[in-house]
Structure 1
């Protein structure tokens, strides 16, 4: 009989939880009511992005990439201030505030000669 350690039991449990939540997320992602509710106000950006993908597949890559870029910015317009606000405050996080000093020290110690 195969003996299973406590760490392996914990690993199987965590993997089971992960698989369950991935399955639940996929099921909720493809729910038509949730898709319609969450994407109704972003229909313009979605249509431009998917239209750009179709145009790229129809061998007009430059025009398709412009359409995809416009659709991307239209879709994530509300997220950009949040992301830039986080990046502006990232140096207040204790671990991240030490990184520029660490990079300066590592940059000064390496020698290619």
Structure 2
């Protein structure tokens, strides 16, 4: 499946958003970088999956706690409470996107260098436990 030009731009915006959030945390919770990262991440997500699907994703009844925490954390970052905002936002992010972690781990295991690291005996057990994957025994 090929990406449209809009989706490619969305992937770039999402990547830049994650980069700015990482830099904001590394710069001792710089509110400006975190705010820019949040805006870019949401804009990129909207461009990748579309406006209707984005609204549906955040409005699902079973994920309302994650949505409230995620957007509440973004609001706290905007009002200059970056440490508390990032913690609340991270809790909401895990609640919203936690179902995707096993898919992400299985994708990363197929990559050449990262896959070898994640498949190492000690690391494999930790990654499986964190992602919630259950192995048949």
* TM-score, scaled relative to structure 2: 0.41
**Greater C-alpha Rg:** 1
* TM-score, scaled relative to structure 1: 0.48
